[in-house]
Amino acid sequence: MIDIGIKILGIYVYKVLRGGANCYASDWWAGSFMRVICPNAKVGSQRISEFLKVLGNESVQRQFFPKYLAKISEGQKNHGILVDSTGMPNDIKFHLTAVNSHNGVVSNETRLILAIDRITCLPLLYRYNAGNIVDVTTLKSTILELQAYGVNVDFSIVDAGYYSARNIRDMYNDCIRFITRMKPNLKLYKELVAANVDGLESRSNAVFYRDRLLYIKRVPLDLFGYQAYAYVAIDHQRRYGESYSYLKKVINKGNLPYEEIDRKVKSKGMFILLSSECVEISEVLPLYYMRQSIEQVFDLYKNNADLLPLRTHGEDTFRGHLMLSFLSTIAYMLVNQLLDGLNFCAEGAFRILHNLKCKVFDDRILVKEATKKDNDIAKHLGIELPFELHSNL
């Protein structure tokens, strides 16, 4: 088992530092310092499936998550979370592959669900489902799994796909504060727009967010028997862009009554946020748009941690692949935090330091002279680059 663990470490370091198809992992290892410090960590492609099966084993994950979550919590008992999902297109022939239609695009995929901490933005948990499982049915299970690992959720930021009567009631019953966006096809959305659009563009409702002018009105309401607040908003720039596009399509057709056109133009650029909390209108958008942090994590997951494309051929290796990508994403985020204030992100630092070459002798390793960028990274991290390393080669 120790031997397997060392080999998993080898493929993990490959994914973090280099990335790419597993078939090139052994070529990377042959020219890497990992060959010196972990000579048994050979990562031949014919063995990687075996490593992924071990890493994806449920017992391994049951051991990992409580220790990991306790470590990053540092005594924090309650967590605000952001939850979202993304599609993983694939043609793997197993029960998690299903047809999904999103924004008019139809594909075979599996859904990846991610929960991250609202403060640190570090990933807390990942889950997966068949591609035809809709987001709205997954929120309760995600929160329950976090609780099973010792994470007490007291606040959640979720997108419109998670809004439902059941989810709202569950969050109130579990004392979880929340903020979410409403879909415009809902009856409540249409009622709120009709009741509040007139007079919304008032100086008393005007706020700026990231140099964009918005008008936001807080409306108390009864939401499935609970006290809630709707934040009815108009994005000034977006409104005029959408109005122009709409009028360009209909104004010369002459098949719609003027009253209906005027009514639809009034609602352009509008959106509604719902929350259990009464917050200042100037604070509601920064609070909700913290959910963009999870998009950045998904971006790291897909582009730096080799989540896609999926190259596995069964559920066992699929689970291990997700776990390996999850661990790699954490590594990237932690290194990015360490490099905060420097002009290099983790990916850039890894590429720069990759050029710091060595000469390997029987009893020692001589490190070539560091460049200015090498030294800048080392200084920022508070480490000293050596000239010589001794080895038992």
Q: How confident is the model at residue 1 (pLDDT cuts 50, 70, 90)?
A: very low
Is 266 inside any structural domain? yes
3-state SS, residue 29: helix
Domain that holds residue 369: 346-390
Least confident of 1-5, 55-59, 67-71, 198-202: 1-5
Q: Do residues 241 and 312 share a domain?
A: no
The conformational region for residue 103 under phi > 0 = left, psi -120 to 50 = alpha, else beta, is left
pLDDT value at position 392?
55
Is residue 82 situated within a structural domain? no
pLDDT of residue 393: 47
Q: Which tens digits make up the pLDDT trace of 132-183?
A: 999 999 999 999 999 999 899 999 999 999 999 999 999 999 999 999 999 9
Q: What is the DSSP letter of 204?
A: G
**Which letter does DSSP use for residue 285 in this model?**
H
Q: Following DSSP, what letter does each residue of 129-194 receive, concatenated?
A: EETT--GGGTHHHHHHHHHHTT-EEEEEEE-GGG--HHHHHHHHHTT-EEEEE--TTSHHHHHHHH
Counted domains in the chain: 3
* Per-residue model confidence (pLDDT) at position 56: 87
Residue-wise pLDDT for 202-226, tens only, equals: 999 999 998 899 999 999 999 999 9
Residues 266 and 199 in one domain: yes
Q: Give the separation between CA 51 and CA 324, rounded to whole angstroms.
A: 10
- What are the beta bridge partners of residue 117? 81
Assigned domain for 6 exists: yes
Report, as an integer, the average pLDDT of 292-313: 86
- C-alpha 310/C-alpha 342 separation (Å) is 33
- The pLDDT, as a whole number, for residue 195 is 94
Examine the domain organization and report whether 193 and 263 are in the same domain: yes
* pTM, two decimal places: 0.87
Asked if the model's pLDDT at residue 289 lies above 50, the reply is yes
Both 321 and 358 in one domain: the answer is: no
Residue 111 falls inside a structural domain: no
Is the residue at 28 inside a domain?
yes
Q: Identify whether 362 is part of a domain.
A: yes
**Which pLDDT value is given to residue 304?**
87
Give the pLDDT confidence of 46-62 residue by residue, as tens digits: 677 888 888 888 898 89
Contacts of 154 (CB under 8 A, 6+ apart): 78, 79, 80, 175, 176, 177
Query: In this structure, are 328 and 352 located in the same domain?
Result: no
Tell me the C-alpha distance between 120 and 337, whole Å. Answer: 10
Beta strands in the chain (DSSP E): 78-89, 98-102, 105-117, 123-130, 152-158, 177-181, 206-209, 212-223, 226-235, 270-275, 358-360, 364-367, 388-390
Q: Are residues 314 and 356 in the same domain?
A: no
196 and 251, same domain (yes or no): yes
- Same domain? 321 vs 351: no
Q: What mean pLDDT is predicted for residues 102-122?
A: 88
- Considering the domain boundaries, does residue 70 fall inside one? no
Residue 299 in domain: no
> Looking at the structure, do residues 321 and 354 belong to the same domain, yes or no?
no
DSSP 241-259: HHHHHHHHHHTTT--S-HH
Asked if 364 and 318 sit in the same domain, the reply is no
**Residue range 376-390: average pLDDT?**
90
Residue 312: the pLDDT is 72
Task: Determine contact, residues 196/219, Cβ cutoff 8 Å.
Answer: yes
Q: In 265-334, where do the E strands start and end?
A: 270-275
- Residue 324 sits in the same domain as residue 238: no
Residue 313 and residue 384 share a domain: no
Neighbours of 258 (CB within 10 A): 7
> Of the candidates 241, 263, 278, which is a domain's last residue?
278
pLDDT of residue 2: 44
**Phi and psi angles of residue 133, each rounded to the nearest 5 degrees, phi first:** -85, 120
